[in-house]
Amino acid sequence: MAKKPDGKPASVERVSFTRPAAERIGKAVRQVEAGDRDLGPIEWGPRGGAASGKVFRVATATGAWSVDSPKEVTFYGITSTPNTVTVINKLVSLPAPRSTATSRIVNIAKDGPQWYLVSFQMATATAVLSGMTQTMTFVGTGATQTITFFSASNTQAITYASPGSDVSVLTDLSASLNTADCTITVNKTTASFRIVGQTQTATTVSVSGTQTATVISMPGTQTAVITTGTYTATYITLEL
């Protein structure tokens, strides 16, 4: 026997609907049939928390999502419409995925009439960390200069005499007789010569045999820190 919501017997009188009312009822039935079958049944009277139906859903969201802003998300795995709902983000600002065509998996829950974001998809990445470092001193290229020098193979020794003292040497002698007074005039010619002294040795250099070298200026040194021990760590990131 049919009963009212309060449990009392209900009358079995025939109920008539207008055409618009029947169409609205039919549309509501079709939406329920195509929607979430896990929702609780329609009940009359107060509903407790245990009878509130499913309030947790998995969905997908695209683009960036800032705090306290709404976003329309799509129920995961539901292709029939309506399969979207507006959700408020109360957690943290989420950046857009790296690819504009990529969606992010999110978990949402319903509190009263409003849906809220409760968690979102995370990713892991690997970081390389340094466990030990050393300092190395090196010379920068700006602290060098080029010098020119003569190699030993392009030199040779020569011997020469050192100059001695000058001496005067008689080179010509002549005499003439004056018969008038019986005198004799003697004419002489001398030349100055330098006596050769001791021999000495000197080293000559062939200019065509020069060579170049790069020298380092020590005040131009620099230091660098070298990593000698590394280890890896995995951390969680918001990026997909």
Convert the pLDDT of each residue in 180-202 to its tens digit.
777 878 787 888 777 766 777 77
- Picking from 106, 94, 91, the residue whose alpha carbon sits closest to that of residue 61 is 106
Kindly report the pTM of this predicted structure: 0.41
Convert the pLDDT of each residue in 45-102 to its tens digit.
444 444 445 589 999 998 899 999 999 999 998 888 889 999 999 999 888 877 666 7
- Residue with tokens 């002549």, as numbered in its chain: 174
Give the architecture-level CATH label for domain 19-41+52-121.
Answer: Beta Barrel (2.40)
Q: Where in the chain are the domains?
A: 19-41+52-121, 133-237
What burial letters (b/e) apply to 156-186, b meaning 16+ CB within 10 Å?
Answer: eeeeeeeeeeeeeeeeeeeeeeeeeeeeeee
Distances (CA, A) of 223 to 13, 132, 135, 137: 99, 17, 7, 4
